[in-house]
Structure 1
Amino acid sequence: MIIVQSPLKRDYIISLLDGKTIDSVNFRFHKREEMSLYFEHDGSNEEAAAIAKKAIKNSEFGPALFFRVTYD
Protein backbone atom coordinates (compact mmCIF):
# COMPACT_ATOMS: atom_id res chain seq x y z
CA MET A 1 0.00 0.00 0.00
CA ILE A 2 1.28 3.47 -0.84
CA ILE A 3 0.41 6.66 1.01
CA VAL A 4 0.20 10.04 -0.72
CA GLN A 5 0.30 12.96 1.70
CA SER A 6 -0.83 16.32 0.37
CA PRO A 7 -2.56 19.30 1.99
CA LEU A 8 -4.16 20.38 -1.33
CA LYS A 9 -5.82 18.80 -4.38
CA ARG A 10 -6.50 15.45 -2.70
CA ASP A 11 -9.58 14.81 -4.86
CA TYR A 12 -7.49 15.57 -7.93
CA ILE A 13 -4.83 13.05 -6.85
CA ILE A 14 -7.50 10.40 -6.25
CA SER A 15 -8.94 10.96 -9.73
CA LEU A 16 -5.45 10.86 -11.21
CA LEU A 17 -4.58 7.44 -9.75
CA ASP A 18 -7.76 5.56 -8.78
CA GLY A 19 -8.60 2.74 -11.18
CA LYS A 20 -5.72 3.65 -13.48
CA THR A 21 -2.93 1.41 -14.72
CA ILE A 22 0.32 3.34 -15.10
CA ASP A 23 3.47 1.54 -16.27
CA SER A 24 1.77 -1.83 -15.60
CA VAL A 25 0.88 -0.91 -11.98
CA ASN A 26 -2.85 -0.75 -11.20
CA PHE A 27 -3.84 1.73 -8.45
CA ARG A 28 -7.02 1.46 -6.34
CA PHE A 29 -8.04 4.12 -3.81
CA HIS A 30 -8.48 2.55 -0.36
CA LYS A 31 -9.14 5.31 2.19
CA ARG A 32 -8.52 8.91 3.22
CA GLU A 33 -7.29 10.00 6.65
CA GLU A 34 -6.80 13.75 7.02
CA MET A 35 -3.95 14.63 4.61
CA SER A 36 -3.15 11.00 3.76
CA LEU A 37 -4.54 9.07 0.80
CA TYR A 38 -4.07 5.30 0.84
CA PHE A 39 -3.85 3.35 -2.41
CA GLU A 40 -3.64 -0.39 -2.96
CA HIS A 41 -1.63 -1.47 -5.98
CA ASP A 42 -0.14 -4.36 -7.92
CA GLY A 43 3.60 -4.92 -7.75
CA SER A 44 6.22 -3.80 -5.26
CA ASN A 45 5.79 -0.87 -2.89
CA GLU A 46 8.95 0.86 -4.09
CA GLU A 47 7.95 0.66 -7.75
CA ALA A 48 4.37 1.80 -7.11
CA ALA A 49 5.52 4.76 -4.99
CA ALA A 50 7.98 5.89 -7.67
CA ILE A 51 5.37 5.58 -10.44
CA ALA A 52 2.72 7.46 -8.43
CA LYS A 53 5.18 10.25 -7.59
CA LYS A 54 6.18 10.59 -11.24
CA ALA A 55 2.54 10.61 -12.39
CA ILE A 56 1.61 13.34 -9.90
CA LYS A 57 4.69 15.45 -10.74
CA ASN A 58 3.94 15.20 -14.47
CA SER A 59 0.28 16.15 -14.04
CA GLU A 60 -1.25 19.58 -14.65
CA PHE A 61 -0.90 20.71 -11.01
CA GLY A 62 2.10 18.53 -10.12
CA PRO A 63 4.82 21.16 -10.36
CA ALA A 64 2.95 23.41 -7.89
CA LEU A 65 1.84 20.73 -5.42
CA PHE A 66 3.58 19.95 -2.16
CA PHE A 67 3.19 16.20 -1.61
CA ARG A 68 5.00 13.13 -0.36
CA VAL A 69 4.64 9.50 -1.44
CA THR A 70 5.60 6.74 0.98
CA TYR A 71 4.68 3.09 1.39
CA ASP A 72 3.56 0.89 4.24
Structure 2
Amino acid sequence: MIIVNVAMMQEKVIQLLEENGFTYKEKKGLKLYFQGPNSNLASDAQTAKRLIKQSSFGSALFFNVEEV
Protein backbone atom coordinates (compact mmCIF):
# COMPACT_ATOMS: atom_id res chain seq x y z
CA MET A 1 0.00 0.00 0.00
CA ILE A 2 1.14 3.56 -0.67
CA ILE A 3 0.13 6.88 0.87
CA VAL A 4 -0.10 10.11 -1.12
CA ASN A 5 0.11 13.15 1.16
CA VAL A 6 -1.57 16.02 -0.65
CA ALA A 7 -3.74 18.92 0.53
CA MET A 8 -5.22 20.22 -2.71
CA MET A 9 -6.92 18.52 -5.66
CA GLN A 10 -7.35 15.25 -3.79
CA GLU A 11 -10.27 14.16 -6.01
CA LYS A 12 -8.17 14.69 -9.14
CA VAL A 13 -5.29 12.68 -7.66
CA ILE A 14 -7.68 9.85 -6.77
CA GLN A 15 -9.18 9.86 -10.27
CA LEU A 16 -5.76 9.95 -11.96
CA LEU A 17 -4.35 7.04 -9.98
CA GLU A 18 -7.52 4.94 -10.30
CA GLU A 19 -7.40 5.40 -14.08
CA ASN A 20 -3.88 3.97 -14.00
CA GLY A 21 -4.49 0.76 -12.06
CA PHE A 22 -4.34 1.93 -8.44
CA THR A 23 -7.20 1.16 -6.04
CA TYR A 24 -8.28 3.93 -3.66
CA LYS A 25 -8.73 2.57 -0.13
CA GLU A 26 -9.33 5.45 2.29
CA LYS A 27 -8.60 9.03 3.30
CA LYS A 28 -7.29 10.17 6.68
CA GLY A 29 -6.77 13.93 6.76
CA LEU A 30 -4.27 14.80 4.04
CA LYS A 31 -3.34 11.15 3.47
CA LEU A 32 -4.82 9.17 0.59
CA TYR A 33 -4.28 5.41 0.80
CA PHE A 34 -3.96 3.33 -2.37
CA GLN A 35 -3.30 -0.29 -3.22
CA GLY A 36 -0.89 -0.41 -6.14
CA PRO A 37 -1.21 -2.57 -9.25
CA ASN A 38 2.07 -4.39 -8.47
CA SER A 39 3.38 -6.21 -5.43
CA ASN A 40 6.52 -4.03 -5.51
CA LEU A 41 5.87 -1.04 -3.23
CA ALA A 42 8.88 0.94 -4.43
CA SER A 43 7.76 0.60 -8.04
CA ASP A 44 4.18 1.58 -7.18
CA ALA A 45 5.37 4.66 -5.27
CA GLN A 46 7.61 5.76 -8.16
CA THR A 47 4.80 5.21 -10.66
CA ALA A 48 2.31 7.23 -8.60
CA LYS A 49 4.80 10.07 -8.17
CA ARG A 50 5.59 10.11 -11.90
CA LEU A 51 1.90 10.09 -12.89
CA ILE A 52 1.07 13.00 -10.59
CA LYS A 53 4.08 15.05 -11.70
CA GLN A 54 3.28 14.50 -15.39
CA SER A 55 -0.39 15.45 -15.02
CA SER A 56 -1.68 18.87 -16.03
CA PHE A 57 -2.13 19.84 -12.36
CA GLY A 58 0.87 18.04 -10.85
CA SER A 59 3.39 20.84 -11.23
CA ALA A 60 1.24 23.06 -8.98
CA LEU A 61 0.94 20.51 -6.15
CA PHE A 62 3.07 20.01 -3.08
CA PHE A 63 2.85 16.29 -2.34
CA ASN A 64 4.85 13.23 -1.38
CA VAL A 65 4.37 9.49 -1.75
CA GLU A 66 5.20 6.96 0.98
CA GLU A 67 5.37 3.18 1.04
CA VAL A 68 3.47 1.43 3.83
Are 2:45 and 1:45 aligned? no
In structure 1, what is the Cα distance between the partners aligned to 2:46 and 2:14? 16
1:14 alignment partner, SS class? helix
State how many pairs are aligned.
67
Q: Render the CA deviation track for 1:3-36: whole Å, top value 9, x for unaligned.
A: 0000111011001011x33xxxx31000011100
Map 1:8-19 to 2 at 5 A: 8-18=8-18
Whichever residue aligns with residue 46 of structure 1, its letter is A
1:3 is matched with 3
2:54 is matched with 58
In structure 2, what is the Cα distance between the partners aligned to 1:29 and 1:7? 16
Q: Percent identity?
A: 36
Q: TM-score, normalised by structure 1?
A: 0.88
Q: Where does structure 2 lack aligned partners over 5 or more consecutive residues?
A: none
In structure 2, what is the Cα distance between the partners aligned to 1:62 and 1:28? 19
1:48 alignment partner, SS class? helix
Cα RMSD (Å): 0.9
In structure 2, what is the Cα distance between the partners aligned to 1:3 and 1:55? 14
2:50 alignment partner, SS class? helix
Q: TM-score, normalised by structure 2?
A: 0.93
Are 2:60 and 1:70 aligned? no
Flag the structure with higher helix content.
2
